[in-house]
Amino acid sequence: MSESIVSSKETVPRLSSLFSRAYLFGTLMLGGGIMLHAVETYITATLMPSIVRDIGGLPLFAWATTIYVAASVLGSTFVAVRPERVTLNHCYRAGALLFGIGSLVCAIAPSMETVLIGRAIQGLGAGFLVALGYAFIRHVYPEPLWSTASTLYAAAWGIATFLGPTIGGIFAAGSAWREAFALLVPLSVLMAASAPKLLPPGDGERVTTKTPFLQIVLLVAAVVVLSFASSVTAPLLRGAFAAAAVLAMLATVAIERRAEGRLLPAGTISLGSPLARVYLIMLMLLVTICSDIYIPYFLQVLHGVSPLVSGYLVALLALGWTVAAFATAGLKGRRANRVIVAGALMEALATALLVVTLARHNPASGLVLLAVATLFIFLMGFGIGMGWAHLVTHVLHLAPAGETDKASAAITTMQALGAAFGAALAGIIVNSTGLVSPGGIEGALTAARWLYALLALPAALAILLALRLPAGKGDPAG
């Protein structure tokens, strides 16, 4: 399935190559798994108000996301540390089945507690599917198509950002949230049944180590505790939870450095490692981009935009990611590294400039100010999209021998951690700077200014890290 159809003289493989006869089914399966997870994420976000109105559980509202993200970390790490006889297509089948079971539990849930159980099972399956989208790249495609495939899978998120709210809105309008979850069940079963037939086994050489159980527990604990920190109102308690999350992360690093059973590839726990820098760049860019969770709120409160319009304006961020991913897919070597640096710079500047555009009181919805703010929202996504596929390709090239599966799964772990930490840090910042107290316009203005000023800093740090990336393969002379 990996016979190359890409000419050695072809410097920029075409996207259509992924849909040729040799790769079509692999592309549909892997892209479908990521799309299933991405679309469902936005569907659930749209449906949650309807779920709460129907079965209650408002105090547990935020946990529908937190428990999903925490479970996805577990799912992605299993792909890397799975038993030796378990192939990647076995993992795909298990992930699709878990996703379907979780969707069924949500569909029949009598209470919010049951919904959370379903979300945990869904998240576990989603962690499998997203990690496999990257882990399978080297098994399904020849090396010249790795970056192009990474671009396609990154673009799936952009498409999902438009599809998810639309589908969720249709079901939410008729209070048919149960049917929305039920619809995912037969699709998941179909994907699980097709995996052994349409995907290669994916049982390449691996370094088998003990399961890094303690590191996984500490990572999940850090995500959960930081989520608590973002939601509590008492400043001292918020600080205590945040400190506990930091300690859990430091303990994870300390244990990983000496453990026989590792969560990350060998040598990664060191800034001297190029692979470590790639992971940190991914994490920093994702933390910054997650400041977008409050954009709809600020658009509505400060700029008088309707909920529906605000939802589609923030979707421009994902559109920017998709457009940039396709625009820069053909770059190689030092050119790819330069675009990673440029993208991180663009994301940092666009986020910081929301301080003077989005964080302004514009009750008449003045088009000029709103248009400029919307442009910066688009450029936030464009910045991360410029370099993401190239960062994925770096991971595949830099992974130690026998640890490519572990390195690929760690991409998904970074995504989950970036989303969780970014959302939690955003919650801590806005709740500490006036969103709730004093609240109203004044509180929203102060919170927005602090949020985008502070969360531009991780992307700025990513610039410094990206300056030291290796040239990689292809056009080393730039």
pLDDT at 200 over 90: no
Task: Tell me the two tokens of residue 362.
Answer: 């514009």
For 406-448, write each residue's pLDDT tens digit: 787 788 778 878 877 887 788 888 888 888 778 889 988 999 9
| Cβ-proximal residues to 151 (8 Å cutoff; 6+ apart), any chain | 15, 325, 326, 329, 389
Residue found by looking up tokens 């006889």 in the block: 85
- Cα dihedral sign for 237, 239, 245, 247? negative
Q: What's the count of helices (H) and strands (E) in the chain, helices before strands? A: 18, 0
Cβ distance 39 to 158 under 8 Å? no
Task: Return left, alpha or beta for 472; rule: phi > 0 is left, psi -120 to 50 is alpha, else beta.
Answer: left
Cβ distance 99 to 32 under 8 Å? no
For 277-334, write each residue's pLDDT tens digit: 999 999 999 999 988 878 888 888 899 887 667 767 877 888 888 889 888 877 888 8
State the Cα–Cα distance between residues 325 and 319, nearest whole angstrom: 10
Q: How confident is residue 8, by pLDDT bands cut at 50, 70 and 90? A: very low
Helices 63-81 and 404-432 meet at what angle, rounded to 10? 160
Residue 291 DSSP code? G
Residue 360 DSSP code? S
Q: How confident is residue 202, by pLDDT bands cut at 50, 70 and 90? A: low
For 46-97, write each residue's pLDDT tens digit: 777 778 888 988 667 667 777 887 788 788 777 777 777 778 888 899 999 9
Q: Looking at the chain, how many residues does it have? A: 478
| Cβ-proximal residues to 240 (8 Å cutoff; 6+ apart), any chain | none
Closest CA to 209 of 251, 260, 280, 145: 260
Closest CA to 191 of 279, 100, 106: 100
**What's residue 207's pLDDT?**
52
Q: How confident is residue 368, by pLDDT bands cut at 50, 70 and 90? A: very high
pLDDT at 357 over 80: yes
Instruction: Name the more confident of 170 and 373.
Output: 373
Instruction: Label residue 397 exposed, middle or buried (CB < 10 Å: 0-12, 13-18, 19+).
Output: middle
Amino acid (one-letter) located at 330: G
State the Cα–Cα distance between residues 272 and 268, nearest whole angstrom: 9
**What's residue 203's pLDDT?**
64
* Domains 18-204 and 269-469 are alike in CATH topology: yes
Q: How confident is residue 3, by pLDDT bands cut at 50, 70 and 90? A: very low
| Cβ-proximal residues to 5 (8 Å cutoff; 6+ apart), any chain | 17, 20, 22, 23, 142
Residue found by looking up tokens 């919170």 in the block: 447
Q: Average pLDDT for residues 133-157, to the nearest whole number?
A: 78
State the Cα–Cα distance between residues 265 and 273, nearest whole angstrom: 11
Q: Where are the domains of the chain?
A: 18-204, 210-261, 269-469
Closest CA to 140 of 281, 40, 33, 38: 33
Cβ distance 212 to 413 under 8 Å? no
For 231-290, write each residue's pLDDT tens digit: 677 778 888 888 898 899 899 888 988 877 777 887 788 778 899 999 999 999 999 998
What pTM was computed for the model?
A: 0.77
Cis peptide preceding 200, ω within 30 of 0: no
Q: Average pLDDT for residues 162-186, to the nearest whole number?
A: 80
**What's residue 396's pLDDT?**
84
Other C-beta atoms lying within 10 Å of the C-beta of residue 439: 12
Q: Give the DSSP per-residue string, 142-164.
A: -GGGHHHHHHHHHHHHHHHHHHH
pLDDT at 463 over 80: yes
Distance of alpha carbon 426 from the chain centroid: 16
Other C-beta atoms lying within 10 Å of the C-beta of residue 243: 12
Closest CA to 371 of 309, 326, 443, 454: 309
| CATH code of domain 269-469 | 1.20.1250.20
State the Cα–Cα distance between residues 388 and 377, nearest whole angstrom: 17
pLDDT at 98 over 80: yes
Q: Average pLDDT for residues 14-20, to the nearest whole number?
A: 76
On whether the 18-204 domain is CATH 3.50.50.60, my answer is no
**What's residue 476's pLDDT?**
43
Task: Tell me the two tokens of residue 188.
Answer: 């998941």
Helix, strand, coil % (nearest 5) of the chain?
Answer: 75, 0, 25
Task: Tell me the two tokens of residue 223.
Answer: 């995500």
Distances (CA, A) of 223 to 44, 254, 415, 420, 431: 20, 18, 12, 6, 18
